[in-house]
Amino acid sequence: MNPILQLRGISKSFPGVKALEGVDFDLRAGEVHALCGENGAGKSTLMNILTGNLEPDAGQVLLDSLAVEISGPAEASRLGIAIVYQQLSVINTLSVAENIFANRQPRGKLGFIWYSQLYAQTQALLDKLQLRHIRPQSLVGELSPGQRQMVEIAKALAQDPRILILDEPTASITRQETDTLFAIIQQLKDDGKGIVYISHRLNEIFTIADRVTVLKDGRYQTTRPVADVTANDLIRLMVGRDIEFARTASSRTGEPLLTVRNLTGGRFADISFTLHRGEILGLAGLVGAGRTEIARAIFGIDTLISGEVYVHNKLCAIRHPADAVTAGIGYVPEERKTQGVFLNMSVMENVLAADLPAAQTGGWYGIGKARQLAERFRAQLRMATPSVMQRAGLLSGGNQQKAVLARWLLANPDVLIVDEPTHGIDVGAKAEIHTLLRGLAAEGKGILLISSELPELLALADRILVIRQGTLAGELVGDTATEETIMALAANA
């Protein structure tokens, strides 16, 4: 059978990153084709090209063997391609019907919205998807996350696409809802639609997919019928690469700096571990496994349901980041632009944010002292900026991250939590940040490193804790830690 969709030799680069390199992919009518790969393998980039959000640098998209150019989401939807994004795009304050028929509500003769028709059409669609418990008039904000996901899917299907892309559709839904979703996918398959299914969860791929394509570091690995591969094969294809970063020497000691016991929060439960002086402790897991939530709870941003945090063996009641800073904990957040950097403020002010009193002389803040401190860290971290008075927003991502790290070097906490510290940063700056983190550990700090980049974890971490769906799935030390063992624990394969 001829494929309805073919991607040939797709390449796409971003500054400092080759996101895709010569990727091939094809989709037949009536099949579910799974796309899998690690975080950063290029799955989302590929789908963004297919939906016209991104333009490929090279390569061709063919629909029914005809080359097409997809200039934007509107064009993609005209060509019959619909996508359900990982992040929900529904509007909580509007009804289910208004979400599904956003901007194309049925209109009456005078051009006003014809509500009875709108609700009837929505009801028909919901019936077809066997979503009888969702009313067209309900506000989306009142639905469960899973129901919202279903509305999202209904919205994609309302345009009657031939090709449906599902990006991690089960990330936020329950097992039961997953079953409903799979039933819908089966039905769509029988209707002859082509479905691209992106998921980290290997067992889902084996349940629902007909074929699977693996990407690794933006490169095409293979396409096989699901029946011909095992979970271990897939993991080996997804990871197993040349070592990018040399493993660094450990400076771990036996002295505990940070101990957490039975931490339970909204999205994780019963997490216990100890971080020692001089140690880099890695937290591995899939995106959404709860690693960031654990870090946020330790740092006092989110409230804990139960559990204890000890710093230097002393029980600490941390209810606010300020308490954490006082206790000797620092945090470099994952979302650099929204939570880390003060984009409109100078590099100097960014460096001083966590320890403004450092710029005091005799109790008065002085810009001279502040500048001097900032200059010191600019030199130490080799920040590329014409002046420390430059707005941080004008710096590259790597240099912004250095400014955030400098903030904590100045505040000098014993424990530093770094969440995806090299996310979206070019290779050079990445290596510098790695050296910096290792240096901090050697100086006697404890570092909790959250990273989705396995080579980074393997190179830096003395021990690696793997988090799976909010629970501690296992601990890997020394040679037992490999990309394969981490992935096996993280994906429960």
Partner 1 sequence: MLNQILRDRVYTLTLTTLLLCLVSAAVFPATFPTFENFRQLLLNLSIDAIVAVGMMLLLIAGVFDLSVGSVVAFAGGLSAHLMVYYDVPVPVAMLMGLGSAVLIGWINGYLIAYQGINPLIQTLAMMGIVRGGALMVAGAGIQNLPYWYNAIGQSKLLGVQMPVWYMGLVVAAFTFLVNRTVFFRRYYYIGGNEQAAELSGIRVRRMKLYAFMLSATLAGVAGLLLTSRLGAALSTLGRGMELRVITAVILGGASLTGGVGKIPGALLGALFMGLVANIMVIARVSGYWQEIILGLILIIAVWIDLALQRRSAGRQGLARKFSNKPSPEGVGVDQ
Among residues 30, 321, 444, 455, which is the contact residue for partner 1, using CB under 8 A? 321
Contacting residues for 392 by C-beta, under 8 A, at least 6 apart: 341, 342, 343, 344, 345, 346, 347, 350, 400, 403
User: How are beta strands 329-332 and 280-285 bridged, if at all?
Assistant: unpaired
Q: Least distance in Å: CB of 364 to partner 1?
A: 4
Rounded to an integer, what distance in angstroms lies between the CA atom of residue 188 and that of residue 9?
28
Q: Residue 63: what are its φ and ψ, rounded to 5°?
A: -110, 125
Q: DSSP state, 345?
A: S
Q: Which of 474, 449, 444 has the alpha carbon at shortest distance from 462?
A: 449
Closer Cβ to partner 1, 333 or 446, answer by number: 333
Rounded to an integer, what distance in angstroms lies between the CA atom of residue 20 and that of residue 17?
9
Rounded to an integer, what distance in angstroms lies between the CA atom of residue 229 and that of residue 226?
6
- If one asks whether residue 307 binds partner 1 (CB under 8 A), the answer comes out as no
Size of the site for partner 1 (CB under 8 A): 56
Which residue stretch of 42-50, 271-279, 303-311, 433-441 sits at the interface with partner 1 (rule: CB under 8 A)? 42-50
Count of beta carbons in the 10 Å neighbourhood of residue 242? 6
Element of type H or E holding 348: helix 347-352
Q: Least distance in Å: CB of 424 to partner 1?
A: 6
Tell me the sheet residues that pair with 166: 84, 197
- If one asks whether residue 272 binds partner 1 (CB under 8 A), the answer comes out as no
Q: Which string of x and - marks every residue 220-239 that binds partner 1 (by CB under 8 A)?
A: --------------------
Among residues 9, 11, 17, 482, which is the contact residue for partner 1, using CB under 8 A? 17
User: How big, in percent rounded to 5, are the helix, strand and coil portions of the chain?
Assistant: 35, 30, 35
- If one asks whether residue 88 binds partner 1 (CB under 8 A), the answer comes out as no
Which residue stretch of 39-47, 104-112, 145-153, 269-277 sits at the interface with partner 1 (rule: CB under 8 A)? 39-47
Among residues 58, 67, 322, 477, which is the contact residue for partner 1, using CB under 8 A? 322
Which segments of 71-119 are extended strands (E)?
81-84
Which residues between 431 and 470 bind partner 1 (CB under 8 A)?
Answer: 452
Classified as helix, coil or strand, 280 is strand
Q: Least distance in Å: CB of 45 to partner 1?
A: 5
- If one asks whether residue 394 binds partner 1 (CB under 8 A), the answer comes out as yes
Rounded to an integer, what distance in angstroms lies between the CA atom of residue 373 and that of residue 407?
10
Which residues between 161 and 220 bind partner 1 (CB under 8 A)?
Answer: 167
Place of tokens 């290596």: 431
Token representation of residue 295: 């870090």
- If one asks whether residue 45 binds partner 1 (CB under 8 A), the answer comes out as yes
Which residues between 402 and 431 bind partner 1 (CB under 8 A)?
Answer: 407, 411, 423-424
Count of beta carbons in the 10 Å neighbourhood of residue 130? 12
Q: Which long-range contacts (CB under 8 A, 24 or more apart) does 419-422 make?
A: 419/291, 419/292, 419/295, 419/331, 419/332, 419/333, 419/334, 419/450, 420/334, 420/450, 420/451, 420/452, 421/332, 421/449, 421/451, 422/451, 422/453, 422/456
Closer Cβ to partner 1, 136 or 265, answer by number: 265
Closer Cβ to partner 1, 15 or 254, answer by number: 15
Which residue stretch of 43-51, 105-113, 203-211, 482-490 sits at the interface with partner 1 (rule: CB under 8 A)? 43-51
Q: Least distance in Å: CB of 56 to partner 1?
A: 13
Among residues 14, 192, 222, 480, which is the contact residue for partner 1, using CB under 8 A? 14
Contacting residues for 57 by C-beta, under 8 A, at least 6 apart: 11, 12, 13
CA distance from start to end of the chain: 32
Q: Which string of x and - marks every residue 350-389 that binds partner 1 (by CB under 8 A)?
A: ---xx-xx-xx---xxxx----------------------
Q: Which string of x and - marks every residue 330-349 that binds partner 1 (by CB under 8 A)?
A: -x-x---xxxxxxxxx---x
Closer Cβ to partner 1, 25 or 101, answer by number: 25
Which residues between 105 and 144 bind partner 1 (CB under 8 A)?
Answer: none
Closer Cβ to partner 1, 124 or 356, answer by number: 356
Token representation of residue 452: 């989705």
Q: Least distance in Å: CB of 53 to partner 1?
A: 6
Question: How many angstroms from the chain centroid is the CA of residue 175?
Answer: 21
Q: Least distance in Å: CB of 90 to partner 1?
A: 19
Among residues 3, 42, 278, 421, which is the contact residue for partner 1, using CB under 8 A? 42
Closer Cβ to partner 1, 139 or 345, answer by number: 345
Which residue ranges make up the site for partner 1 (CB under 8 A)? 14-15, 17, 19, 39-45, 47-48, 53-54, 86, 167, 287, 299, 301, 320-322, 324-326, 331, 333, 337-345, 349, 353-354, 356-357, 359-360, 364-367, 393-394, 397, 407, 411, 423-424, 452
